Structure 1
Amino acid sequence: MPEPTAAQLKDEGNESFKKHDYIGAIIKYTEAIALDDKNAVLYANRAACHHALNKYLDAVDDAHMATEIDPGYAKAWSRLAASRDALADWRESAHAWQKALDALPNTNLSPVERQQKEQYSANLKAANARLNGPPIVPLSMNEKLGKFPWQIATDMLPELRRAGPAKVSSSAWVIALAYEEFSKGVESMKGMKIIPQSEKPGTFVHRGNLEASSDCSMSLLYFGVYTAQGLTDLSNGFMRDDRVFHINQPNWIEMYNQQVYFEVTARKAWDSEGLETENGWDDVRPALAVTVRAWLMRAAFEGGLRDQPQAGVQYYRRALDLVEWGRTIWKDVPKSSRGAIFEHSFLIGIRSMYLKMFMNAYTDDPGLDSKFPLEQLKEEAEYLVKESEIAVQTRGDEPVDPGFISSFIVYPNGLAHAMIGFYHVQMARYATNPVEKMFSYVKGAGEYTHASSKYPEDDELCAWYLNCTMDCMRNAGVPIENFLMIATGLRDSVPKMQKIWAVSELAMGGRDQKIQANLDRADELMRRVADKTLTLEDPVPL
């Protein structure tokens, strides 16, 4: 039986696409591309599949390849533009929509082409409107509000070190050591200098965190042995505790972009398989590290600074996929060769950030038909629980600082339980059966209680997840006695939390007012129990 041709495989892919079997279609288009890799239609069709699966970065890659092969292919440009839209990349989106319009005939348009022109024009207008909208104001914190958590925690470290093991369980270790690495990264950014070269107009010398040799690449001169620490320190600090992220000067973003460009260019960021055999691990290790860490920070900027969590999910997912892939194919390669990004703790750190961003993306697109399904959120959270438990069992005897275990094992476990709690709360909201609704809230309360127990008493998340527990209990109508028991724990934890976390993003979002509302409700219930209008066995009234 003869092997199928590229055209036959394309037709089979088209049939799968019509049936919404996008993975099956991708397989067929990929097989066709292996036979005919200069066919723009195959790449454009595969891009449409990736887009349908909400894998927008993959869609961008394929659509871009289609436009490279055939710059006059309007549908390829439109698919590139649509994927850029999904990533909220309005500048590139507008450019691609314009290219799609330019690729259409100027006269004698067919009915389909007229419809395409109307659609592309409307989408171009929308992209330009978003592009020219109000500028995004980077998140910053007002020093007049008081000391930030990392400042207070840093001041606490000498006392904690003197106390030894008795004071190991404190969020001060986590946020202070996160700040230590994050601030080192910022200092590296500040040390970056760009110097125009008079003898070569249009080229620049980048002077960064360097030590000895010279390497010239892409019109940039690097002096010294390169020590790519800026991006490493920033991302390490962020992964230890993402609450450490803050912008404290107006040109922070500009400095960051210069740092990343410098590191990506100097280390030739990894973009293909097999480089370990071509160049050796000494080249591949930093190339992989820069690539993954740049994706992590890009995800943080998209989801945080730009408030586009759907884009942040894409970059975290790409980093997660690369690290999981590397851990599989290079499982026998020692850490000294493949690098820290393939360590289990690093993988857990990425999965934690991905999970939070996924929840934020769901919150922006809620409902049972969300592009970010609740069931997937729950599955990812359950997987993180298992991974963090495995990490406890398999961790070696390598010495680490007191905050490391919390940042990369204990806190992720708590986060995962909180995400499962969030899942149950959402399912309760969509339940039509009162009994199912009640049990979902009860399950949510259990998960939030478990999450709270994973954080030190002086971490705001210990108190916050107890507050979430009380919200669930109130909606479930649990006995007043159980509600008051959690209220006692919450009341005890608040002063400890305030010592470090009085000023935080969560606090600025109404944390203390929401906690106080539940504590006030508990006080009211205690009064009603005391005057015998309610008993401890009665359900908490809504």
Structure 2
Amino acid sequence: MSEPTAAQLKDEGNDFFRKQDYVGALAKYTEAIALDDKNAVLYANRAACHHGYRAAATQIDPGYAKGWSRLAASRDALAEWDRSAEAWQKALDALPKTNLSPAEQRQKDQYSAGLDAATTRSKTTESPSVSRFKGEDANLPWKIATEMLPELRKGGPEKYSSSAWVISYAYEEFTKGVAFMNEFKSIPHPQAPGGFAYGGNTMGLTYLTNGLMRDERAFHLDGPDWITKYNNQVKFEATARQAWHSDGVENIKQLAQKRLKEKGWNDVRPALSVTVRAWIMRGMLDGHLRNKPDTGVQFLKRAVDLLEWGRNVWKNVHKDDRGAIFQDTFLRGVRSLHLKMFMNAYSADPGLNSKFPLEHLKEEAEDLLKEIEIASKNPSKEEVDPGMVSSFCIYPAAVAYTMIGFYHAQTARHSDDVLACISFANGASAYLQAAKTYPEDDEFHAFYLSCAMDCMRNAGLPIRDFNLAAVTLRAAVPKMMKIWTVSALQQGGRDEKIQANLRSADEMMKLVAEGKLTLEDPVPL
């Protein structure tokens, strides 16, 4: 009698699965994988068995701690922090209260860490994501990065990939903008409208937005009157440059062209610049500080639409006339900010009927990647600082891969078991690419490796892949901590998430060493 083929074993596994015999199905899918280990569907089907078992375990035995922990890990990967915290708590409640065995104590430590991380992320999601750091804190990333630059310069081009260049230059530009805000003055003047004359520098918005587009993590509030000073600055610049305020994008297009004919580029260029940069700032302030990402998306989308229109209408106009805002790098910076804000808006309004569709997020991310690929084939010959390429080419590409990973992880939430596993596998791949694109010493490199591991667990990918990611992550953490000991992401539970995945990898490899698991087994949920 001939041996069954992988396809036959898969069909047998499907029969068991339909009968909710997850153990039987698991065995058949595992046999099929042994014959065809390149078939992604087999891995997805096997992972679906774990999903079915997980759900059944918590329903049949609410006191089954591992069942709740697996459910919590799944919710972690979907960024369902409140529901994750609830599941971690139930996992803890299911453990004995006293006289814990060594294995149970390890479980308790793992579940407690998971609960702490989920609780922290839940609170962070509900609060503004712009952190107020203490100015004297020597561990701030931009301070450490700036101190590193002399040594990095000595290393030449080989050292240009460090995230230190990105955050230090972002901070430098952002703080120049803040300095101009602080210089703004109102002086009593009997002949001036309202009895006051105003004095200041009209480059404040330029430096603030340049800093944000280089790396928005440089955005921080260093005083209680920051917003008041900013409002004064933007009003001053808008008045001085006769920028557009409440006009819609379509109306501005007509007004700008009419004004160009009447007054020329020296008048229109700064007016458009202030208009667009004010939208960028409004989008960031509303989206992060005021926790209104939906409004943030609106203002950043306005900026993208006006820039794309202007680049097309004035494509033959010299860049010095039309201005920096119509450069490729500027548009990529704004598109990157818009993508991240769109993701935040979806997270605040998730689901199939969200006003911020996941498909749109994915399409925008893929378009940005295509644009960057085209630009990479025709690099600019202009001399730029070491962080310029990272900020406006490498980081936007990493952001795009991140959005694609987020798309797949969230799509899994609305799919059946098999399709969910495939989506998680795709999410793992995209997050790995995002991590690879960021510099090794950037916190996002380590963080998205961890996100990829979350997806691997839910996709039922082999322990081998999970462990390889853990090895890379373990090597990345010390590099990350050199610069990014303190950050908004760190305050939101970054390190707890990373350490939980590293502990999981250690536990799995211990079981592999004991012969209880193999590297080809799926990552346990």
Q: TM-score range by the shorter chain?
A: 0.7 to 0.9
**Is the contact between residue 409 and residue 424 of structure 2 (CA under 8 Å) also seen in structure 1?**
yes
Residue 382 of structure 1 corresponds to 366
**Is the contact between residue 421 and residue 458 of structure 2 (CA under 8 Å) also seen in structure 1?**
yes
TM-score, normalization by structure 2: 0.72
Cα deviation, 1:122-154, whole Å, max 9, x if unaligned, reads xxxxxxxxxxxxx98974124576521001001
Cα deviation, 1:201-223, whole Å, max 9, x if unaligned, reads 723111112xxxxxxxxxxxxxx
Q: Matched residues in 2 for 1:145 and 1:207: separation?
A: 32
Between stretches 251-260 and 144-153, larger displacement belongs to 144-153
**Is the contact between residue 345 and residue 391 of structure 1 (CA under 8 Å) also seen in structure 2?**
no
Residue 424 of structure 2 corresponds to 441
**Is the contact between residue 177 and residue 204 of structure 2 (CA under 8 Å) also seen in structure 1?**
yes
TM-score, normalization by structure 1: 0.70
Cα deviation, 1:16-65, whole Å, max 9, x if unaligned, reads xxxxxxxxxxxxxxxxxxxxxxxxxxxxxxxxxxxxxxxxxxxxxxxxxx
Q: Matched residues in 2 for 1:507 and 1:148: separation?
A: 12
Structure 2 gaps, min length 5: 1-126, 245-251
User: Aligned AA for 1:424?
Assistant: H
Residue 267 of structure 2 corresponds to 283
Q: 1:162 aligns with which of 138, 154, 161?
A: 154
**Is the contact between residue 140 and residue 248 of structure 1 (CA under 8 Å) also seen in structure 2?**
yes
Q: Does 1:238 align with 2:175?
A: no
Q: Matched residues in 1 for 2:212 and 2:513: separation?
A: 48
**Is the contact between residue 129 and residue 288 of structure 2 (CA under 8 Å) also seen in structure 1?**
no
Residue 337 of structure 1 corresponds to 321
Q: Matched residues in 1 for 2:216 and 2:383: separation?
A: 23
Q: Does 1:181 align with 2:173?
A: yes
Q: Matched residues in 1 for 2:465 and 2:447: separation?
A: 17
Residue 397 of structure 2 corresponds to 413
Q: Matched residues in 1 for 2:490 and 2:410: separation?
A: 23
Residue 399 of structure 1 corresponds to 383
Q: Does 1:494 align with 2:486?
A: no
**Is the contact between residue 142 and residue 167 of structure 2 (CA under 8 Å) also seen in structure 1?**
yes
Q: Does 1:484 align with 2:474?
A: no
* Aligned-pair CA distance for 1:195: 1.0
* Aligned-pair CA distance for 1:380: 0.7
Residue 12 of structure 1 corresponds to none
SS of the aligned residue for 1:195 comes to: strand
Change (3 A) 1:180 1:143: closer
Residue 366 of structure 1 corresponds to 350
**Is the contact between residue 330 and residue 338 of structure 1 (CA under 8 Å) also seen in structure 2?**
yes
* Aligned-pair CA distance for 1:247: 0.6
User: Aligned AA for 1:202?
Assistant: G
User: Aligned AA for 1:236?
Assistant: N
Residue 51 of structure 1 corresponds to none
User: Aligned AA for 2:164?
Assistant: A
Structure 1 gaps, min length 5: 1-134, 210-227
Mapping 1:198-347, distance limit 5 Å: 198-199=190-191, 202-209=194-201, 228-270=202-244, 271=252, 272-274=255-257, 275-347=259-331
Q: Matched residues in 1 for 2:190 and 2:390: separation?
A: 51
**Is the contact between residue 146 and residue 503 of structure 1 (CA under 8 Å) also seen in structure 2?**
no
Change (3 A) 1:170 1:362: same
**Is the contact between residue 325 and residue 331 of structure 2 (CA under 8 Å) also seen in structure 1?**
yes
Residue 431 of structure 1 corresponds to 415
Q: Matched residues in 1 for 2:193 and 2:427: separation?
A: 62
Q: Does 1:531 align with 2:514?
A: yes
* Aligned-pair CA distance for 1:394: 2.3
* Aligned-pair CA distance for 1:506: 0.2
**Is the contact between residue 265 and residue 322 of structure 2 (CA under 8 Å) also seen in structure 1?**
yes
Q: Matched residues in 1 for 2:277 and 2:181: separation?
A: 15
Q: Matched residues in 2 for 1:397 and 1:463: separation?
A: 32
* Aligned-pair CA distance for 1:359: 0.3
Between stretches 245-254 and 297-306, larger displacement belongs to 245-254
Which structure 1 residue ranges, 4+ long, deviate > 3 Å from structure 2?
A: 135-139, 142-146, 198-201
Change (3 A) 1:284 1:141: same
Q: Matched residues in 1 for 2:395 and 2:457: separation?
A: 26
* Aligned-pair CA distance for 1:241: 0.2
